[in-house]
Structures are given as C-alpha cells and as structure tokens.
Structure 1
Amino acid sequence: MNATACFHCGEPNPAAPVVLARVQGRERAVCCPGCKAAAEWIDTLGLGDYYRLRSEPALRSDLDFDYSAWDRPALRRLHVREAAADRAEVIVLVDGLRCSACAWLIERAMRGTPGVLDVGVNALARRVVLGFDPRQVALSGLLTALARLGYAPHPLTAEMIDSQRQRESRDAMKRLAVAGLGTMQAMMMAVALYAGVFDGIDPAVREFFRWLGFLVATPVVLYSAQPFFRGALREWRSRRLSMDTPVALAIGLIYAASLVGVIVGGHEIYFDSVSMFVLFLLLGRHLAMRARHRAGDVVDALSRLQPALAERREAAGFVSVAVHELEAGDIVRVASGAAIPADGELRDRSCRIDESLLSGESTPVRRDPGQSVIAGSLVIDGPIEIVVRRIGADTVLAGIVRMVTQAASERPRLARVADARAARFVLRVLGVTVLTALAWTWFDPARALPAALAVLVVSCPCAFALAVPAALTRAVAVLAERGVLVVDADALEALATADRFVFDKTGTLTEPSFDREDIEIRRGTLDDALGIAAALEQGSTHPLALALRRMAASAPVRSAERLRQIAGAGVEGDVGGIHYRLGREEFALAGGASEFVTQSDALVLADESGEIARFVVGEQPRADAAGLIRGLMAQGIACEILSGDCRTRVDAVADRLGIGDRLAKASPADKLARLEALREAGHVVAMVGDGINDAPVLAGADVAIAIGNGSAMAHAASGILLASSRIDTLLEARRIAGEMLVRLKQNLAWALAYNLAVVPVAAIGWVPPWLAAIGMSASSIVVILNSLRIGRRPSGPASTAALAVDKPAREATA
C-alpha cells in the first residue's frame, strides 16, 4: 500500500522505497523514518485516536534532534525553576500545536513519561508547562519526548512570542482581506442583478453576473472560511458541539444552494450573503484576537524587561557577561536608565527605581542599602551596585510570567459553564433548523431552504461562546495594567462575591521596623549579631527579614548554610560552622530560659548555648491600610485580622484601623480552622497575606490574595497577586471583578434575548439570509464591545455600582 501523502505529517511520500508505519493494527505509508518512529511511538502509547481527532496533519518529524545543551547549568538556570529538590518547572513554546487534539496528545503522552509530575497545554498560545522531577528525568529528555511526538520545542522568549503573534495576525489579516474584497465584488454583482429584476436584464447578462458572483465568492468560502470548516470538523471528531458547527453548515449550504441555482437557473442565489456572512464573522474573530493579544501584552512585556547582558565585578573590574552566567553572590553594576538583570539587594547607596511595568505604580520608589530589588526594574539614580540573590527562572519577574502562563492553560469554571451552554444552544438551533425546513417543505417547498438558512445564520452561538471569555480576558488585562495579576481566573468571581476579608497583620496591614537602640545584646557585639541574623534571613522576602537586612547593611557580610524555614516559628541554619536559630522565643531557645524580661514582640537570636540577642520589632499600619478597610466596610464587607503576633500588638493595629474581629498568637493551623469556620457559616472568604505561614490558609480560602513582595509559597497558593506595594489596589481589583460579572451577565442576557427575538422571525421566513448574516455578526460584536467597557474609569458615585454584586449574581452565572 502506497498513499500519496504521509499518514503522519501529510507531506508527499517518495515513490520508493516505501516506508510503512504500523498504527492501530494497520500499515500506513509515511514519508520518512522520522514520521514512522513518531507514528509508531504514538500508537505504542495507546494514543492512536489522535489521528482521528486532529484537524490538521502534524509537523514532519526528524530523528536528528539533540537537546543536550539544555542540560547545561547556565542555560537550564535561565529557563527552569527549581521549586524543590524533587520538582522543577519549565515553559516552552512548541511548533505544530494547532488544535485540541494536539493538546490531548501532548497531555497524555507526557503524563506517561517517567518523572513528569504535571502537564499544562495552551493550544491557542502554543505553550506547554511541564512540572517534573529532575532526579528522574533530564530536561533534554522531556524536550526529546516532545520532538518525537512531532512538536519542536523552543525557549519561551520575547522573540518567539512576537514571531508567533505576527504569524497569527498575518494569517488573520490575509483571510480578512480576501473576504473583504470578495464581499465588495459580490455585492456589485448582486446590485446589478437586483436592478435587473425591476428594470429588466438580458438573460445572458444575468447568467454572466451570476457566474461572476460565484467566482468572487469561491475564494471567500474556500480560503477565508477555512477556520470555521476546520473547527466544525474538529468538533465532530471530538463529538462535541460549539459555534463552528452551525457556522460551517450555514456557509456550506448557502454556497452549495447558490451554486445549484446558477447551474440549473434558479431564482435565488446568495453569493453576496455568504461573502458578507464570512466577512462579519472574521471581523468578530479579529476583534477577539486583538483583545486576547492585548490581554497578554502586559505579561509579554514583562518577559522583555530582563536584559541580556550584565556588568559583573571581577578581578580586572566590571566585565559584561550574559545574564545566565550570573551566580548568586555576584556583584553587578547597573547604570542610570538600565534594567536590573537579576533579583538582589542594593549594596552601596540609596536610589530611586522605576517598577511601573511590574507593579503598575508610575512613581519611582526609593530603595536603601540592604533592600531588595527586582529583575526588570529600571534604575533612575545610577550607577548602583547590587548583590545577586536569584537569577533566571527563580526571579520574581519569571515567577509572575510563569504563574500567569500556567493560569492561561487552565479553563476557569465560568468558561466551562459557557461552553456547556453554547453546546446545548447549538443542538437546539440545529433542531429548530430541521423543523423549519420540514414545516416549509409541507406548506411551500420553494421557501424551505431560505427559511432554514435564515434560522441557521441568524442564531448566534458566537455570542454565547464569547460572552464569558471576552469579559474574563478584558478584566485580566485591565487588572494586569494596574498592578494586579490574576493567577487563577476563578478567583475573580470569588473576589467579586466575597463578603469577608481576612488579613494577616505583619507585612500585610503593617510595615515592620527595627531600632538599633532597642536591640538587647547578651553575648558578642551588635555587628556580630546583625551579621548572623542577616545571614539567616538571606533570600527571604518576608517584611521582617527585609527590615532586618536593611538594618544590618553596615555589619560584616556573612553567609549561612543548611537554612530551614519553620512556618510560623522562624529560621535556623549554620553560620561559620555554628548552628543558630532566629524567630519566636520558644523556637529560638528550644525550651531554654531567658534572663531578659520576656518581650513577645521580639525576634530572638540563639545558638546551642542560649540567647545571643533580642530584636524588638516595631511596626506601624501601612499608609493605605486605613483607606482599604474603610472602603471594604463601606461596601458591607466584614474585615478581621488573623496574626501570629502577640495580642497587644494585634489589638493596637486592629483598634487603629477600626477592625473589630481579631485573633492573635495564631498558628497556621489556627488560621485555617478559623477560615473553615467562616466558610461553614456561609461566608465567601478572601484571605490576604504575604508570609510563609500564610500559605496553608491562602490555599484554603475562596480567593487567596498575596502581596507582591511576599514569599514564593504565598504566591504559589494565591489566585490574585498584588504586584504593587499598595494594598488599596484591592478596592480597584474588586470593582473590576464586580464589573466583569455585571458585563458577563449582560452578555449572556443579550445573547439570549437576541436569539429568542430573531429565531422565530427567521423561521416564519421574514429574514433574508443577508440580513441574518448582519444580525449574527452584529450580535457577536455587541458582546465584544460591551466587554471592552470593563475597567473604564468611573466619573462619579456610580463607580460603586459594579461592587454591588452578591451571591445571587454568582449563582446567575452557574
């Protein structure tokens, strides 16, 4: 058996020698040994159904791939995030990922690969998120597995993103241009034919114009409308219905009926209508694509912030090196106006730093020696020197890009509900279309086809399908522009309906500080104690750690080994071969007694011999905390504090902010128990925190909100991340989330009202196909334009209207 096209990739097969691959028990002709290996491997994995589900052939597979370079430490560090010793994550762009069948194949094949822990595939963005155990499988092995499937992997870089978007935009514009030109020409032919009905026209001229209409409409149907036909074929293969099925049926039937009318001399042809139908649908899809690209613009801009080169201090002075060559502990120099290449600490002097693209704040922030700086920030007052702490995939910048990318590969609850509604609606539309055709066949057979086509065209599953994604996409994009990053799209729904906000205190509602005058030294010198404490807190982003390192900027620099964070207690590690503990008194002293007067609001530094120093913690509420609490309470939302700090300090902050409910000396288990009690009482709870001990309660909340400079564990457990240092951006985030639900409900209501109004009229026969095409496309455009209203700055008291979203609103979307 020798087919002309390769079974795997669709490329022409050579005349000889014949290469055969055995797939699902049958011999299939393929073009090369690479495609043979890929096809047989897919079949060996038990995934032969891929060939039935796919809408396009795979890319040609090549056996000569070598990804061993990705295992080099410098390159691996740039793209791979080491979450733990047994877990790493990488995001790659892949060629050939074209449809849901490809995503299905990649997910199932990669999940069966030893060492792979998790797989997320975004077919639209052509990105694959892989979580794996580096002890069991090398990165090169994962990439080789992708390549064997026929999907060539590439590093996630700004250049690759731009190239991908340019290809998508260029393809969409070409199809739109062909449809536009074809529609104009088809309308010219139609005008001549319509005029001839009234003024008379020679039959030969009429036939000439009809065939011209066929010629100009054919490229529109066969080229511009390809995405709809491919989508419908994919839906039928996967046995599910969506908007592409009725659209493809309508286009095909209108075109075929018109062609038959031209051939047999029928009275009705609709080449102008089908061309206009395709044009308006493509316009709607183009608007949706632009909205999707705008939603990703902020995140993609973040990936461009990190520079390619850095000036590293070496024996001969500062030398330019590639960013992936940096190591933790290196000292780099950054000039005025330049971007910081890695996360680190300011070393030499104070300066102003522009973090607007990271946090949404337009005003540069001041950073003092010892304070953390973030990769991608722009230096205003340079040059400065920083000590590198984290590079590549471990930076805050890379973490933000990774979290939002991973969120994009998941389907939120609202989108799944909308897809189910659209599928049910399409099934009903097809049923109404058949009934309309049968009814008119009984009464007036000549009107059966126009009436059935009108029902098929005028109904708009597109509006149903776009109602939720358009609103979600717009809300996520607006929030990202304002320094609020949505990691989990489901969190927006919960944020809009939350009736209880629970706050951590230290670092969330307050800013901690230390005073050298209040440090009590039992053994050694003040500088020794500060140096040891700063070494134990190296790399930590907790506000207490940042304040401690800032105070220790003038102390001798020391390094710690075998560091271990104890949630809710403190940190321990070895400095200079001696084991130290820093944190709560009971943890640091490990049961020993202190000769000092007990101060529960202090951090204690101790070794095996006992207490060394006591750092009294001072704090004050954030400047914007009071405004946030007042704003939430004005909306009828109850607020409370859950803190591990002592009761005196918790009460002082709660009283200053006007918060009645508070719980002090709370362990992570205590916080989680309180949260579960609130949820059992029927509350929708939003938890706001930043520290390591907040991660469990963040993970258990209805919506988890992490402060941007909080710990990585808190970020991983959160659904919303505040990149800005201002926590009152939560008010704006909740307003936009509420507005999203309002617009979403309006979109669904509009789609339902439109279809209920026009489908009966079309079934009666009062809507010609050309008018049905305009109505369907206009319905989709209304949904998109309504969604684009999300986030427009309100001008008056009506700005709080979108916040009046309660549980009934949430239930209305279910």
Structure 2
Amino acid sequence: MNSYDAWAHPRLAAQVLRPRRDGHSEVALRVESLQGAQQVLRLEQAIHALPGVRGVSVDAPARRVRVVWDTERTTLPSLLQAFAAMRCAAQPLRSDSIDDTRTRESHDMLKRLLVAGMFAMQVMTYAFVIYIGVVDFVDFTTRGLFRWLSLISTVPVMFYSAHPFTVGAVQELRERRLGINLPVALAVWLVFFASAFSTVHGTGEIYFDSVTMFVFLLLAGRYVELRARHRSGALGDAVIDGTPLLAERRKADGTLETIPAIELLPGDCVHISEGSTVPADGVLESSRIQVDEALLTGESTPVTRQRGEHLAAGSVLLTGPAQLRVEHGGDATAAARIGALGAHARLTREASVLRSDVELRRFVARVLILTVATAAGWLLFDPSRAFASAVAVLVIACPCAFALTAPAALTRALGVLAQRGVLVADSAALAVLDRVDLAMLDKTGTLTVPHLDPPDIEVLRGGEASTLLAIAAALARESSHPVAQAVANAAAGLPLLRAEEVRVTPGGGISGQVDGRELRLGQITFALGSEAPRSDDRLWLADAGGALATFRLRERPRHDAQATIDTLRGEGVDILIASGDTSSRVAATARTLGIDTWHAAQTPEDKFELLKAARTHGHITLAVGDGTNDVPVLAGADVSAALATGTEVAQAQADLLLLHGHLRGLIEARVIARQVQQVIAQGRRWSLGYNLCAIPFAALGLVPPWLAAIGMSLSSLAVVVNAWRIGRQQASQPVLHA
C-alpha cells in the first residue's frame, strides 16, 4: 500500500473532505512546489481532465489548491496521485481550513471591476459620438439615442459595481460616522441621477462616462489593495498548513500504522521518513538528524538535532529516518499556536485601523463642507455650473488615497515582518515602536541562555555523572523553562529515559518518576525541603534519600544580544535589565553587555512598579520577556515583545512575537515600523498636496468630473504602490519623496 492509499480510510477522508449541496466534495490541498504561471496552468489542465472534476482553484501565494469533484468517479488517493504525477505533491488540509471568505471576496471584487470596465468602455464609445457633436453636426435624434444607450449601460455599473460603496455609505450613516464610502456614494449617485434627469428631458449635460470611469478606477485601486492584503494573509496560512495530517505510529509489536496526526497522544512513538514533515512536537529518539525549520524559525539553514532534543511540528526531515516521542499534538503544537496568533493578528490589525482613523472622518467632513460651499458659490454667480463644479470637487477631493495609506502600509508591514520571523499581534504597536526610548529586558531566557557543561556536574551519590544527567534530563524535558532546556540539551547523545507523573512547580522545579523512583529537580529548597539553606544557586537533583547531584549552570548571552543592545542604544534607547535572578548573576550579565542600569531579585510586582515609574517620567517603554513572571510588564508596557521559546502566557500578552528566538527581530521591527510611519506620513502629505493643487481648479469649474475621477484614482493607486516598497530599503533611506 502506498502513502496515498491511506486517504481511502473513511475516518481520515472525513477530516479533509467537505460535502457540498450538489453532491460533490471539496478538498483544500497544500502544494509547496507551485512556481510560475506555466506550472499553475499545466496543473489546472491536468486536474480538470480527471473524471468528475467540476472546478479547480489555485491560490499561488498561499500555495493552496481547491478541487471540487465527484468522489465516486475519482477517489481521493487517485486525485493525490495525479498531483504527484505533475511533480506537485499535494498535502490535504483539514476541512475546517477551507475558508471561502478570501476567495469569495476576491472573486466578488474582480467581477464588479470587470463589469465596470466593460460598461465604462461602452459608455465612452457612446460619449465619443456625443462629443463629436460639439465640432461637427450630429442630429438630435442620434444624440438622444446615444444618451439613452449611455444611461442603460450605466445602470449595471450603478446597481452592481458601485454596490459596495452604496452599502458602505448606508452603514456609515447608520453608525453616525463619516467614512470613505459616503463621499464616493454621494458623488456617483448625484451625477447619475442628474444625468438621468437630463436624458429623460432631453436637455442639459450628462456625465455617464465620468460615473462609470470613476467607479472602475476606484474599484481597480481597491482590488490592488485587496490582493496585497490577501497576499499578506497567505503567510499566516503557510504556518497553519505546515503540520501534516498523517503520521506513522509504531505499535507495541514494532510495526507501523498510518493514523491521522490529530490522534497522536503524548508518549506515542512516531516514525518519520526522510523528506517528511514532523507531525507533532516531541523529543528525538534517533542519534542525529538534520531538519529544515524555516517554516517556524525563518532560517533556511539546516539545523542538526541530536538524541534528546526537541523537534517542532512543521519541521522537514532532511536526513532520516527518525523516531520521535510525542509531547504535543493537534492544536497544542507550536505551529498551531503560531498560526492561531497570526490569524488573531490579522483580525486585530483590521479592527485597530477601523478604530484609529479619526483623521479620516475629519477629512471627509471638510470635503463635504467644501463641496457645499462650492455649489453655493456657483449658485450665486452662475447656477448652470454649480452642479458640475460641486461634483468635480467631491470627486477630486475624495479621501480614497488618504484612507488607503494606513491599511496598505500596515498590510505590507505585517507581511514583511512575518517573512522575517516577527509576528505582530497588535498593529498599533508599530505606531509606537519607533518612538520607544526605554527598553526593559528580562535576563534569563531573554538576554542570556543557560548552558551546562559536563565538568559543572557534581555527583553526590547514586552513580556516574552521565547516568544522573540522563535522569535529570528526563524531568527537564517536561518543562519549557530555559534552565530545564539547558539540562535537556546537555544530555544529548545519552540514553533517553522517560519521566512519568511529572509536576512542574513555578519558581521551584520539576518532580516526577523515572524508572519507578520519585525524583525532584530544581532549587535547593524545592529539591531538599524548606529547611535547606537558601543561598545556593545550583540546580539540585534529589530523591527520597536526599541529594544525588548538583548542576552549576552557567549563562552566556544570546549570540545577537550585544548587537541588538548596541543598535538600540545607538538609536537613543535606554537599556534596563529587570530580572528575578540574584545580584551577582544580573551584575555579570550587565557588565558583559555593557548595561549600566539593572535590578535583581525582582518579583513580577517589582518589575511592574519599575515600568510604572518609567512611564510616569514620560518614557515610552518596550518590555521584552519570555516567562510567566514577565506577564505584568508585557501587558503594561507601551510595546511588548516575547520570544517564541517562552511560555504561552507571555506570548499571549505580547504585541510582537519573535518566532526564531532572535533578539534582532526587535531591530527588524523598528526598521519596518519606521518605514510604516514614513509611508503613512508621505501618503497623507501627498493627499494634502494633491487636494490643495486640484481642488481650486475643480471649484472654479476648470476640471470636468471625468478628469477628476482619473486624478483621484491615480492618486489612490500611487499610495498603494508606495506601500509595497516597505521592507525593500534601509530605514535610513526615504521610501518616497512626497
């Protein structure tokens, strides 16, 4: 049985197939090898040729393909084999990942754009005949006919293509707020009704060409912005789709069985073939392998993992095969948590943009006041020109470019940062990050990582150092704390032991059973009891009979800590260490990294008081941490960042998540945040300058509505294109000269 035959199992197929009302089935597939338009076209043609296939939809940026077909005529294994034959191996995704929203939104906007474009060209053809009448005689019957044809051709544009603007304007009026849709809807409907009135009565000017062109160009700008936003969202999908649905579990008799990965339980032994994707988080039981962790860390360089080290779901095995002991599966994996955070970030971004754009409402109010003033002025001097001039002002001053600036810039910024290993949970942080003047950093796990060398192990009783280290590592693997991970990493290559009934005590240590013996690993007071001296800073391993060994962990700065601190300090940011560790260790780290201000033995409450004092003195603060004790400062700082190697509670409170555990992500984020603010400022300066130059001409009746529509639409497109340049230049270089 090949790997595709497993998908014939009803329980497994039920996870990925979504039944449709027409009796067909739908599946979403992850296809990593999609490259180029020609390959996409060949793949579509090959899949369409299969019996029973009704539709194929390819989303190249997201590396997704959706197929609708009759499973009675072509089975799911046969469909997957067809993809493999095209050298486009496909991985089925869970049926709940089939989200029609993005595809439906894109298709709807494209259809409205095409309708507007088709009828705009037709109306321009009719208008050409009418314009000829200005310089050459065209009889009134012919002119009337073409005016009516223009009206008929404009109706689909108004009631279909312009429908989003109309609905948006009604919604804004219901909510009693001024937004971008209100002036757009007013402009197109006023012009349409006035032109329709002139057509019916056979006198007066008509502006059907202006209306249709205006709607078409505005839809074109929105479609470009929509595609950019969807491309950014596809990055989050790549993380969510990274975990496979199938896994090969080793049974008690040593044979392998193919099961859904979601059914993996802690303690299961999983076989991973070379080139396959790791289906769950767990501990490596093979001696030595190489994996590609680019999906999770952003680093394309292969990583070597040894026995006892952790593997994350979504990693790709480059050398193998390998055996994995499962720790977390399904929605509890690191890839699933990161994907969920990315989805939350996109929702938060859209909500924050909607809440914060107060300036847009003011801009719209000024445009409406200026339009009324223009109409009133012309009514006093030349009523025949009042309507055309007012419409030209309303169209040319439309705040589309103003409104698109922030969403386009933020969409681009979040996509660039995701590619560079930084997830933004709250886009409002990018507006503050560049203005930060004080960074409060945790020490252990943030600035430094613990390290254990074999000479730092002192055996008290119970065996050799390697034996006791293997026992300690069995407990340490059950915790994500940096100290525990240092012990686990030091035991790489030693026999792998399994701990049972493990209990983690925050601030104390880990207890559990190894080979039936009750053991404790942690601080001396935790391992030996409350009567033990409190001055010892070693890690202790003990059983019911007392201490077995001590481990003196040493700390070393993260490889990029010094460069990050130097860069922040060079940009005028004061650095402060707030740590719960002892004074000697904090002082040593501060001295190594050249940090003058530090605070040791800090409780979570102490850290929060330091933060409050800094904010009271007017500082804009950045808090960086990785542990549960950092949660108060992460929640209270102006901007907060957490490392992906930290606790889930810390990650949930942070505005930024550094996926690959590198502090240089802070510098990347500040660079992009600076460029975002530049783009937003440039876009709004451009909008202001454009309006100051164009509105006087429109108010004086020198700009016809059709020319105003072209100017407004090109202005909006310029803003969107400018936002694409974020992340392509250094922070010191201007993105666009306004």
Could you tell me the TM-score, scaled by structure 1's length? 0.75
Residues 75 and 587 (structure 1), Cα distance of their counterparts in 2 relative to 1, 3 Å cut: farther
Q: Which sits farther off after the overlay, 490-499 or 171-180?
A: 490-499
- Give runs of aligned pairs for residues 90-101 of structure 1, distance below 5 A: none
- The reply on whether 1:290 has 2:227 as its aligned counterpart is yes
Residue of structure 2 equivalent to 1:516: 454
- Give runs of aligned pairs for residues 219-618 of structure 1, distance below 5 A: 219-314=156-251, 315-410=253-348, 415-416=353-354, 418-525=356-463, 526=465, 529-553=468-492, 554-555=494-495, 557-561=497-501, 563-566=503-506, 568-573=507-512, 580-593=519-532, 599-600=536-537, 602-607=538-543, 610-618=546-554
- The reply on whether 1:176 has 2:116 as its aligned counterpart is no
Distance in 1 of aligned mates of 2:602 and 2:119: 69
Contact 1:475 1:791 in 2 (8 A): yes
- Give runs of aligned pairs for residues 201-220 of structure 1, distance below 5 A: 201-220=138-157
Distance in 2 of aligned mates of 1:598 and 1:244: 67
Q: What amino acid is aligned across from residue 365 of structure 1 in structure 2? A: V
Residues 802 and 549 (structure 1), Cα distance of their counterparts in 2 relative to 1, 3 Å cut: farther
SS in 1 for 2:669: helix
Distance in 1 of aligned mates of 2:267 and 2:402: 54
Contact 1:242 1:422 in 2 (8 A): yes
Q: CA deviation at 1:555?
A: 4.3
Q: What amino acid is aligned across from residue 256 of structure 2 in structure 1? A: F
Distance in 2 of aligned mates of 1:299 and 1:324: 20
Residues 535 and 713 (structure 1), Cα distance of their counterparts in 2 relative to 1, 3 Å cut: farther
Residue of structure 2 equivalent to 1:635: 571
Distance in 2 of aligned mates of 1:507 and 1:626: 15
Write the deviation string for residues 91-120 of structure 1: whole angstroms up to 9, x where unpaired: xx9xxxxxxxxxxxxxxxxxxxxxxxxxxx
Distance in 2 of aligned mates of 1:539 and 1:495: 35
Distance in 1 of aligned mates of 2:230 and 2:302: 28
SS in 2 for 1:560: strand
Residue of structure 2 equivalent to 1:33: none
Q: CA deviation at 1:500?
A: 1.7
Write the deviation string for residues 121-176 of structure 1: whole angstroms up to 9, x where unpaired: xxxxxxxxxxxxxxxxxxxxxxxxxxxxxxxxxx9958745643222222221111
Q: What amino acid is aligned across from residue 133 of structure 2 in structure 1? A: G
Distance in 2 of aligned mates of 1:273 and 1:500: 53
Q: What amino acid is aligned across from residue 675 of structure 1 in structure 2? A: L
Distance in 1 of aligned mates of 2:569 and 2:733: 15
SS in 1 for 2:552: strand
Contact 1:369 1:550 in 2 (8 A): no
Contact 2:183 2:398 in 1 (8 A): no
Residue of structure 1 equivalent to 2:675: 739
Residue of structure 1 equivalent to 2:74: none
Contact 2:281 2:329 in 1 (8 A): yes
Residue of structure 1 equivalent to 2:104: 167
Could you tell me the TM-score, scaled by structure 2's length? 0.82
Distance in 2 of aligned mates of 1:732 and 1:503: 17
Distance in 1 of aligned mates of 2:496 and 2:211: 77
Residue of structure 2 aligned with 1:698, choices 625, 634, 641: 634
Distance in 1 of aligned mates of 2:278 and 2:186: 55
Q: CA deviation at 1:573?
A: 5.0
Write the deviation string for residues 627-660 of structure 1: whole angstroms up to 9, x where unpaired: 2122222212222322333333333332222222
Distance in 2 of aligned mates of 1:464 and 1:162: 31
SS in 1 for 2:179: coil
Residues 304 and 615 (structure 1), Cα distance of their counterparts in 2 relative to 1, 3 Å cut: same
Distance in 1 of aligned mates of 2:300 and 2:349: 33
Distance in 1 of aligned mates of 2:161 and 2:336: 38
Distance in 2 of aligned mates of 1:168 and 1:158: 19
Write the deviation string for residues 272-318 of structure 1: whole angstroms up to 9, x where unpaired: 10010001110111011011101111101111111110111112512
Contact 2:439 2:621 in 1 (8 A): yes
Count of matched residue positions in the alignment of Structure 1 and Structure 2: 646
Q: CA deviation at 1:765?
A: 1.8
Residue of structure 2 aligned with 1:660, choices 596, 602, 607: 596
Q: CA deviation at 1:262?
A: 1.5
Q: CA deviation at 1:269?
A: 0.9
Residues 582 and 683 (structure 1), Cα distance of their counterparts in 2 relative to 1, 3 Å cut: farther
Q: Which sits farther off after the overlay, 333-342 or 537-546?
A: 537-546
Residues 577 and 704 (structure 1), Cα distance of their counterparts in 2 relative to 1, 3 Å cut: farther
- The reply on whether 1:772 has 2:735 as its aligned counterpart is no
Residue of structure 2 aligned with 1:191, choices 128, 152, 156: 128
Residue of structure 1 equivalent to 2:660: 724
Q: CA deviation at 1:703?
A: 1.5
Write the deviation string for residues 525-550 of structure 1: whole angstroms up to 9, x where unpaired: 34664355334333422222222123
Distance in 1 of aligned mates of 2:94 and 2:347: 18
SS in 2 for 1:267: coil
The two structures, once aligned, show a CA RMSD in angstroms of 2.8
Distance in 2 of aligned mates of 1:248 and 1:157: 41
Residue of structure 1 aligned with 2:561, choices 625, 629, 644: 625
Residue of structure 1 equivalent to 2:732: 800
Q: CA deviation at 1:758?
A: 2.9
Residue of structure 2 aligned with 1:672, choices 608, 612, 622: 608
Q: CA deviation at 1:409?
A: 2.7
Contact 1:685 1:702 in 2 (8 A): yes
Distance in 2 of aligned mates of 1:802 and 1:576: 63
Residue of structure 2 equivalent to 1:51: none
Q: Which sits farther off after the overlay, 326-335 or 431-440?
A: 431-440
Q: Structure 1: any 5+ residue segments left out of the alignment?
A: 1-71, 77-92, 94-154, 804-814
Residue of structure 2 equivalent to 1:812: none
Distance in 2 of aligned mates of 1:411 and 1:305: 23
Residues 598 and 520 (structure 1), Cα distance of their counterparts in 2 relative to 1, 3 Å cut: farther
Distance in 2 of aligned mates of 1:699 and 1:570: 26
Q: CA deviation at 1:523?
A: 3.7
Q: Structure 2: any 5+ residue segments left out of the alignment?
A: 1-10, 16-27, 29-91
Write the deviation string for residues 643-679 of structure 1: whole angstroms up to 9, x where unpaired: 3333333333322222222223333333223222222
SS in 1 for 2:645: coil
Distance in 2 of aligned mates of 1:302 and 1:509: 27
Contact 1:531 1:558 in 2 (8 A): no
SS in 2 for 1:353: strand
Residues 163 and 349 (structure 1), Cα distance of their counterparts in 2 relative to 1, 3 Å cut: farther
Q: CA deviation at 1:734?
A: 1.0
Query: Identity over aligned residues, as a percent?
Result: 46
SS in 2 for 1:305: coil
Q: What amino acid is aligned across from residue 167 of structure 1 in structure 2? A: R
Contact 2:405 2:680 in 1 (8 A): yes
Distance in 2 of aligned mates of 1:430 and 1:697: 45
Write the deviation string for residues 542-570 of structure 1: whole angstroms up to 9, x where unpaired: 2222221233452452323261331x443
Q: CA deviation at 1:801?
A: 5.5
Contact 2:564 2:667 in 1 (8 A): yes
Contact 2:348 2:425 in 1 (8 A): no
